[in-house]
Chains A and B, each alone.
Chain A
Amino acid sequence: MKVSLNWLKDYLEITESPDDVSDRLTALGLEASYVSTGKTFTDVVLGYVINCGPHENADKLSVCKIDIGDGNHYTIVCGAPNVKADIYVPIAKVGASLQNGSFKIKQAKLRGVESSGMICSGKELEINDDHSGIMILDTDAKLGTPIEDFLEFNDDVIFELDLTPNRGDCLSHLGVARELAINNNLSIPNRKIDFNESKVTNDSDYKISIKDSEACPRYCARLIKGVKVAASPDWLVQRLKSIGQASINNIVDAANYVLMDTGHPMHTFDFDKVSNHEINVRYAKNGEKFKTLDDKERELKDFHLLICDSEKPIALAGIMGGANSEITSDTTDILIESAYFSPTVVRKGAKSLDLSTEASRRFERDTDINGLIPALNQLSALIVEIAGGEIVEGFIDEYPLKKEPFKIDFSLKNCESLLGLSISNEQIEEIFSSLQITFEKDTNLYKCTIPTFRNDLEREVDLFEEVARVIGYDNIPPAHNFSGSYSSFVQDDQKLDSLLRSHLSSNSFHEHFSNSLQSQKDVEKFSKAEAVIIKNPLSQDMEFVRNSIIPGLLKAADYNAKRQEKGFKLFEIGAVHNQSKKSDTGSKEKFQLGLLWYGKEQSHWRTYEQRDIFSCKGEISNLLVSVGIDSISFKLGDQLGYANAMKVYSGKTQIGTLGSLDLAIIKEYGLKISPLFCEISLQTLREIWINRKINYRAPISYPSVVRDIALQVDNKVSAESLLKTIRVEGGTNLVDIKLFDVYQSDEVGDNNKSLAFSLRFQSESGTLTDSEVDDDVEKVLNSLKETHGTTQR
């Protein structure tokens, strides 16, 4: 909402600076900023270029001799391409200030030449946006005349208010003026209307009937005869222009002006086009068609409220008039509608047509039902003033559903205890009267009556806010003690996430946050679970809520690969969703951890990091063990979207999948190198983590004995199965097993491999003897031979 300072001055005497006004509005909850319009400079006068020559040290500069009529000639260096001798120009004298003081003109030396002032462009003077050259003036004014004396400036300050939806009353100059009068010892603003009904009696009868009084509790109208539709007078054009409203014609502009002034939207009908001079307010029929004055035909539903004549709809109530009854240059008689429509009805109607107008915005936010007649009279008077004609005597006021002002009981004690502030009775009473709230005192209560323009004040607590607002939020001292009970504690099951993040970030993973709104392609690739569809998506590639953590990471990998990043690791922790009939929201939310390894790390003179499925296995085991999850194992399996996949287990619980993705999919995401990928179900992990235990055992003080064994075995036998046998058969003294070599060669044969294990034995009861260990190793070897057909090398 734009508000003009000059306009506000119709209501109030305002002497404060724009800064102060803006701060005061903001402190009252009407967040304000402002721009000054009109003249933004001082000391700019008319000058004449006597001569103009090149600057000896700069190609693009000219040196000019200037006459400003004071008997002196000034040298001014100018960079504009259009400067030449024998032209009249605006000269900013030394000491001039431009653009509200952003620039000060000083005596200066430019590339060795003294310059006493500046020749200005239109943009520098904020007269227009032209910065292609200096302004060349065509005037017969005397040299040295301040340029504001012969150019026109409309000095004003325009406030831009960012209003909250509860303050519909401030969508007008009157409303803002009321706020400015609070706490400022100013009288309560009111517009005086110079209003004369003519003696022309009502020879053309018109009738109003309201079919639904809930939707339209009150409808007033007046008739004006013999107007002349023409252009608006300058002052009106200027006023509307200052707040960004275009001028149409005197009738439309007058209605617009009163709207911006009082906040009450009214509509003007061409009376001749109202069949039978009848106004009926009724709901539309489903499918009824109506052409609004923006020339669009609209199909209506049964909740759209219509203003109709005896035959046809002529306006969408509170939203927009119809093309069929609009004011044209031929119009002479005008019927003015000043009505109150239900905020919900207007909002529902406007929303479903996606049609928001100045009128609908105000009706939606509720209007002043007692403001109908003053606004109607003000508009009538204005039309007659600027378009001629006569106001027909009398008006219609259909008011089937009387609306009473809100009454609220206010307890000062309750107010004090909510705000944490003590307030005197005098202070409260002063606050009430500055808000035009009338009251009766009743022992501990104030029985308040709320003015009808403040529809947002319905409950006691709303008045508490008003009290705080008028006192000023900043004048309520903050409490410096925090007093809370200790009985509010909740377990944070997502604490694990921080541990994972911290481990991963110290192990060269970067955390990624991806867009969880994805395309159909994204949600079909990696999960069979049906993704949740958005009814009103921003675009087709954001039609679904993600059902897998993978696509977001792939897109990030592609983004980085295209920016010459050769090797990186990414992770993301986030929610994924799929449809689920069982839940109230028709969807199920799960949290996932996704890890992505792309390319190789940079090579280095000492090391070269090898990245393959085994390095990833190691990293995942390390991650899980470091956050307290053990018994990690991996088993081959199939997974949608993967070319090779291993399921990750903790004990018997599957917690995730590790592998390489399908190459065809990788290509679709624009990647040339296939990244490795791991997804882990955080839900499952959190459950395991919450129940984790550390099984402490005292360190053994006796020495350990290490034995290495090398085995030759068929390729098909897995290392894991060998390890399992060793672990089981090694006995209680076997404390550690390491697989330290895997070897394939002609020597061991095509179908065989050789694996070397290092076994460490240690006992809590004493130093082990060779023969004790020999026995254990023998047992292991025999069992390996029996179960897996190994031979010892």
Chain B
Amino acid sequence: MSITDQIQKVRSEFSSDLEKLSSDNSVLDKIRIKYLGRKGLVSALFVHMGTVSNEERPKMGQALNALKKDIESEIDAAISSSSDSKNQKLLDVDYTLPGDPINRGSIHPLTLVMEEIKSIFNRLGFSIAYGPEIDSDFYNFEALNIPKHHPARDMQDTFYITDNILLRTHTSDTQIHFMENNNPPVRIIAPGRVYRNEDVSVRSYCLFHQIEGLYVDKKVTFAELKGTLDYFARELFGQNVKTRFRPSYFPFTEPSAEMDVSCIFCKGGGCGICKKTGWLEILGCGMVDPEVYKSVDYDPQKWSGFAFGMGIERMAMLKYGVQDIRLFYSGDVRFLRQF
């Protein structure tokens, strides 16, 4: 077959390919490769140039170049007329069809609250520390000035592994672990899971989460404890909440206090959630008891400080209006999706 015939053959094959195709750019790309690619039909013809006579060569060259140019321009024309390259009007399609589903997951409400509290104390320069969930009686009780056979043990029903090893009942154990391994000054918060041997109900569960705080430095005062925790409460619940402190009892703090915030639901007027008192109990706190310093070899004459602890579940229940504590551990995606 002569080159001219071959050129003609390629031309007609190209025309029929072009007619068959849908207006799809990827198909056009394939056609471009088939004809104009490095190993394409047109390139193959150029290779044949070597076999033609010197006289014919310029003519052939012209013809081939014309073929290449025609194919190029026709492909370009096809591309520009294809749907992808037009300003398609949304009116032409049903734009009410739903968009692609990108499903969102969720971070657990307890994590959300924990992170929020952590970030407030991070701003105040508190670092994060952790304690073990299975701990000894010493760290959970003895070192915190709660001797065996002390009625304060009744405040926390405990799961025991052995007589001396238990599931920690509060994150206060972390105070001791941390102070044992670090010299003062100390400024930490310690989030974590704690356990209580209590029947499961709407208001209580056999485990929950706490955040403990500990600040030990020179000349720390009760007034600073109040200022710090008041700031925290306003950061968490809003600038307008009020706090009140009332005397309480924890063996590892003295003086001990309970901090309430003005009810965030009724603004202090009295409602069902605050049991008509206008106040919500938020956290326990106090000045670190000298006995605690003794058990970690800190000099109580030199250092003073405060500690506090709060339940995350309670905060989350208040913040989101969750009535049943068990929902937090159900894994119910209808619940989780809302956070």
Which A residues contact B (CB, under 8 angstroms)?
A: 26-29, 31, 33, 164-168, 343-344, 347-348, 351, 364-365, 417-421, 459, 461-462, 464-465, 468-469, 473-474, 476-490, 492, 494, 498, 501-502, 504-517, 532-538, 542, 545, 552-553, 555-557, 559-560, 563, 565, 568-570, 574-575, 577, 584-587, 589, 601-602, 604-607, 770
Contacts and interface: CB of A to CB of B under 8 A. Distances in A.
Interface stretch (B18-26, B47-55, B77-85, B241-249): B241-249
A479 B223 contact: yes
B106 to A, nearest CB: 5
A549 B103 CA distance: 24
A586 B101 contact: no
A459 B152 CA distance: 18
B123 to A, nearest CB: 10
Interface in B135-169: 135-136, 149-152, 154-155, 159-162, 165, 167
10 closest A-B pairs by CB: A556-B331, A420-B221, A29-B247, A420-B223, A164-B249, A465-B255, A478-B226, A508-B103, A478-B227, A511-B108
Contact of B105 (A166, A343, A508): A508
B207 A31 contact: no
Contacts of A469: 247, 255
Contact of B160 (A512, A535, A563, A570): A535
A465 B219 CA distance: 17
A418 B222 CA distance: 6
28 contacts: A29-B246, A166-B152, A168-B151, A347-B151, A419-B221, A461-B254, A468-B222, A473-B257, A476-B226, A477-B226, A481-B227, A482-B228, A482-B231, A484-B187, A484-B217, A488-B182, A490-B182, A508-B103, A510-B108, A511-B111, A511-B336, A517-B159, A517-B195, A534-B167, A545-B161, A553-B331, A586-B162, A589-B134
Nearest to B326: A515
A504 B188 contact: no
B226 A565 contact: no
B240 interface: no
B193 interface: yes
A687 to B, nearest CB: 16
Given A167-B249, A570-B331, A589-B132, A474 B161 contact: no
Contact of B129 (A462, A481, A490): A490
B206 interface: yes
Nearest to B250: A164
B61 interface: no
Contacts of B228: 479, 482
A476 B97 contact: no
B129 A506 contact: no
Nearest to B281: A31
Nearest to B247: A29
Contacts of A483: 224
A500 B333 CA distance: 19
Q: For this complex, into which size category does the number of interface residues on chain B fall? A: 35 or more
Given A461-B255, A510-B105, A575-B193, 7 more contacts: A419-B221, A473-B255, A478-B226, A485-B217, A538-B198, A563-B334, A568-B333
Contacts of B132: 585, 589
A488 B188 contact: yes
A33 to B, nearest CB: 7
Nearest to A349: B149
B104 A536 contact: no
A559 B134 contact: no
Contacts of A492: 127-128
B249 A418 contact: no
B106 A421 contact: no
A501 B339 CA distance: 13
Contact of B249 (A165, A563, A605): A165
A560 B104 contact: no
B100 to A, nearest CB: 6
B330 A559 contact: yes
A154 B250 CA distance: 38
B185 A485 contact: yes
A27 B260 CA distance: 11
B147 to A, nearest CB: 9
Contacts of A33: 275, 277
Given A484-B125, A565-B333, A587-B134, A535 B162 contact: yes
B56 interface: no
A476 B247 CA distance: 12
Interface in B182-203: 182, 185-188, 193, 195, 197-200
B272 interface: no
B222 A420 contact: yes
Contacts of A537: 159
B105 A506 contact: yes
B265 interface: no
Nearest to A493: B130
Contacts of A421: 221-223
A486 B246 contact: no
B224 A482 contact: yes
A574 B111 CA distance: 12
Contact of A344 (B149, B167, B198): B149
B149 A29 contact: no
